[in-house]
Amino acid sequence: MEDTVATSSDSMTAPVFEHPDRNLAMELVRATEAAAIRAVPWIGRGDKNAADGAAVNAMRTFLATVAFDGVVVIGEGEKDEAPMLFNGEHVGNGRGPSCDIAVDPIDGTSLTAAGRQNALSVIAVADRGTMYDPVDAFYMDKLVAGPEAHGVISLEQSIGDNLRELARAKGKDVGEMVVAILDRPRHAQLIDEIRSAGAGTRLMRDGDVAGGINAARWETRIDMCVGAGGTPEGVITACAIKALGGFMEGRLAPQSDEEHRKVVAAGHDLDRVLGLNDLVASDNTYFVATGVTDGQLLDGVRRKGPLIRTESLVLRSKTGTARRVIAEHRSDKWLESKA
């Protein structure tokens, strides 16, 4: 039953609003801003590990100041042996809520190294024990869309059926549909099937976290994000999709015999379709991202005279709130000797 409070009229009642609590994401955004700023000198320099290392060091330093007891469930860099915030690492000052944390100091290290668009610095947080732990499962098939997709599409349907059903739910023609997908050889057949169904594609070089988020936002041209991408990035995306009210499914998809062997040995069911609540069970998720390079989701870090400008997206599922945070940082405060 909904709690109520009397108004000036005895015949009328109004809902009692829950007392606002602290929005952890507004503290976490400082860590993604720092990581993005520190990565800037490495944009277009061809060294993705150096860019990632600079971002990791900055993110770790700022996370240490946040009032929470965080444990890294999903660290970054395990696939390519880059510098990492490692799984099991404790972050935060140890005071406050106990949380699972997933980090990707740069989602799109190759994009950053090449000077291409759509690189982000990302953190996702949920209540302790609620994030899916992929263990040795580095890749999963993903299907992401907006709120209209609930009860309409599924990984167990063909891409053609999914496109037709979602188009009907959105009141669009299939020919108006746009699908984001990583530009990889493994997706050649899937891309052909999307185009044969009459839809268009938005091919991404890297960084499918942004692709998934754009698929769930009403103001973008992306209607759906599909294909095999990183499992850690899938869990991070799920935290954002919960806040946006969108739809997401995943299914583990090993890309090599060795990965297949490890995934099966870890006890994973390769036929199981993972829903949003399987990927993150908490209804109180936080997602923060800061643009490193310009992209469809966020502007990248920009130097404007004596200022450094950052743009971030801050999402929280409990309140259903999405904020864009534009920050201007004095460049003289970002000397190499400072965190």
User: Is 230 one of the annotated binding-site residues?
Assistant: yes
Cα R_g (the chain), whole angstroms: 20
> Is 186 annotated among the ligand-binding residues?
yes
176 assigned binding-site residue: no
Query: Residue 286 corresponds to which amino acid?
Result: Y
On whether 32 is known to bind a ligand per the annotation, the reply is: no
* Range list of β-strands (E), the chain: 4-6, 13-15, 69-74, 90-91, 98-107, 120-127, 139-145, 178-182, 200-204, 224-230, 247-252, 274-275, 286-291, 302-304, 307-316, 321-330
Does 108 count as an annotated binding residue? Answer: yes
Residue 164 assigned as binding residue: no
φ, ψ (nearest 5 deg) of residue 101: -135, 140
d(CA 230, CA 76): 11
Position of tokens 């850690």? 232
Has 294 been labeled as part of a binding site? no
The verdict on whether residue 207 carries a ligand-binding annotation is yes
Annotated ligand binding at 139? The verdict is: yes
Q: What are phi and psi of 268, to 5 degrees?
A: -75, 145
132 labelled ligand-binding:
no
d(CA 43, CA 51): 7
CA distance 92 to 68: 5
Judge whether 200 is annotated as a binding position. Answer: no
In our burial notation (b when 16+ CB lie closer than 10 A, e otherwise), range 250-264 reads: bbbbbeeeebbebbe
Residues annotated in a binding site for substrate: 107-109, 139, 184-186, 206-208, 230
Annotated binding site: 52, 76, 104, 107-109, 139, 184-186, 206-208, 230, 233
State the binding site for Mn(2+): 52, 76, 104, 107, 233
